Amino acid sequence: MTLEQLANEFEQARGQLKSYILRITASVADTEDIVQDTFIKATEKFDTFRGESSLKTWLFTIASNLAKDNLRVRKRWVENVTDICREEVLSNRQFFQEAIDIRTTSPQGDFEIKEHIAFCFTCIAKSLPLEQQICILLKEIYEFKVGEIALILTITEAIVKYYLHTGRSKMIHIFEGRCALINKEGVCHQCTELNGIFNPKQNTQEELVKIEMARVAENADKDYLFDLRMQILRGIDPFESNAAELQLHHLEHNRQVMEKYLKKKGD
């Protein structure tokens, strides 16, 4: 393989790398930096690539290592991140004004419940231990095999399986307790609440019926509901969707709130 071929392959993987790193960092600026550094590192280390894995796996390995070194990535959020950030939003008029401006002027300013489900997952997954979060992203969203994840993270397949199972169980438990889309007693219904604000003419119930996870929630088991949630995430590119700018603006807000919150807690 030549450097030119590497550049071509990198371009093909760039979209996935970007969304992967964004879901780990929750920061657009850090994502841009890490993805750029991934390319630089890949070209520098190109002669060490022996083809023992696919090039995509190799690129994800470099990106994952760079992300793990990022200070913001190492700080873990809290399960009730969306509650804390909601409280902050209510007293932040500027945030709402910016969001409304994006909603009305940007071609990527749509509000869609599905997009918010993906956004919500990104925020809550940052409360998992980093290794568990990374394993879930690689397996459930980017569809790497356990053996490939073991290569990416330089750990054994047994450990990958442990992280996947534990992380998945925790996320299922959190969503079961919080998400009103799958549990009527769930405390969080921000996605429908925001839909009412950004899409006042829409019938939210009609929108929910379009989402299989919400439609089948009453009779489906929790593992299947989690699979459906992951299916939603697989279908969304947080940089390219029609809702990208609005959701990235929201993500930036939540990241800042969490950083302030963790600093205050002395974490």
Name the site residues for another protein (rule: CB under 8 A).
145-147, 156-159, 161-162, 164-166, 169-170, 173
Q: Which is nearer to another protein, 21 or 135 (CB)?
A: 135
- Angstrom CA distances, 184 to 58, 63, 150, stand at 43, 39, 38
Ramachandran area for residue 188 (φ above 0: left; ψ -120 to 50: alpha; else beta): beta
Q: Which residues of 183-220 are buried (b: 16+ CB within 10 A; e: fewer)?
A: beeeebebbbebbeebbeeeebeebbeebebbeebeeb
Residue placing its CB nearer to another protein in the complex, 49 or 162 = 162
Closer residue to another protein (CB): 78 or 159: 159
Give the whole-angstrom CA distance, residue 149 versus residue 241. Answer: 27
> Nearer Cβ to another protein, position 158 or 197?
158
Which residue type is seen at 222? K
Least distance (Å) from another protein to the CB of residue 259? Answer: 23
110, amino acid identity: D
- The nearest distance, CB 57 to another protein, in angstroms, is 15
Quote the least distance from Cβ 129 to another protein, whole Å: 9
Beta carbon of residue 1, minimum distance to another protein (angstroms, whole number): 27
CB closer to another protein, 172 vs 262: 172
Single-letter amino acid code for the residue at 108: Q
Smallest distance from the beta carbon of 173 to another protein, in angstroms?
8
| Residue of 247, 254, 252 lying closest to 106 (CA atoms) | 247
Q: Residue 137 or residue 211: which is nearer to another protein going by CB?
A: 137
Nearest to 23 by CA among 230, 191, 227, 164: 230
- Shortest separation between residue 38's beta carbon and another protein, angstroms: 26
| CA pair distance 130, 134, nearest whole angstrom | 6
